[in-house]
Amino acid sequence: MAYNIKTKTRTETGKGKIRKLRRNGTVPAVMYGHGDPSVLLSLDDREFTRLLQQIRGHSPIVDLEIDGKSAKCIIKTLQRNPIDGSLLHVDFQKVHPTEKVTVNVPVILHGDAQGIKEGGMLDHILREVTVRATIDKIPEHFDIDVAPLALGQSVHISDLKTEGIEFTLPLDSAIVTVLVPRKLAAAQAEAAAPAAEEVPAVEAEAGEKKEPEVITEKKKEKETKEEKSKKKKKK
């Protein structure tokens, strides 16, 4: 889905003029990228805020309309007032069709994991996955069906079905996993305990093999008594 933002070029610079723009409901912005000169822009605060709500959960790729001309861009930076959260400035990065860019793609989960019904807890580790690709290959978001996940199972970056996309994190990085509760983990360990208890029994059997040595000593002692008896008879 294409998201369009209408903007106008501006000539106003300086703190005083920028404050006046904001008071009139206009947000200052700039577009840069690919060695092209930076372009100073202005856009309507309300329209842009509404668009931000629409693209929430999607990759930040937009069509920027500048005085009637269109340019494919990424919303690179949003500067906000730390007190009231109002927009102060927006940076757009211009992207050419054959150029590879790095963006964060949101992850959306679907379904109820089987492991939750078994007492587990779903841990959504990566809510965004950073990718590098040409703009036509970048998805709006990654959809993951967690319904089949049992206790202890996870979905990794390597499980994502993609083409022509590079990932910045290792492929074995977990995106979502079903955690095993401590009590359940303890019960599973206790259930496996009997197998461990069999080990001392084997050691005990190994210890029993030492008894023949004692028997041998008793046998030697008996032979010594017999020899003494024979010597007495000879005398």
pLDDT in tens, 5-28: 888 898 888 888 888 888 888 999
Is the pTM here over 0.85, yes or no? no
Q: If we measure between CA atoms, which residue out of 100, 44, 41, 99 comes closest to residue 69? A: 41
Q: Does domain 103-188 have CATH number 3.40.1360.10?
A: no
Q: Which fold has domain 4-96?
A: Ribosomal Protein L25; Chain P (2.40.240)
For residues 75-80, average pLDDT: 90
- For residue 128 the two structure tokens come to 């965004």
Domain map (residue ranges) of the chain: 4-96, 103-188, 196-234
Compute the average pLDDT of residues 135-162: 92
pLDDT over threshold 90, residue 149: yes
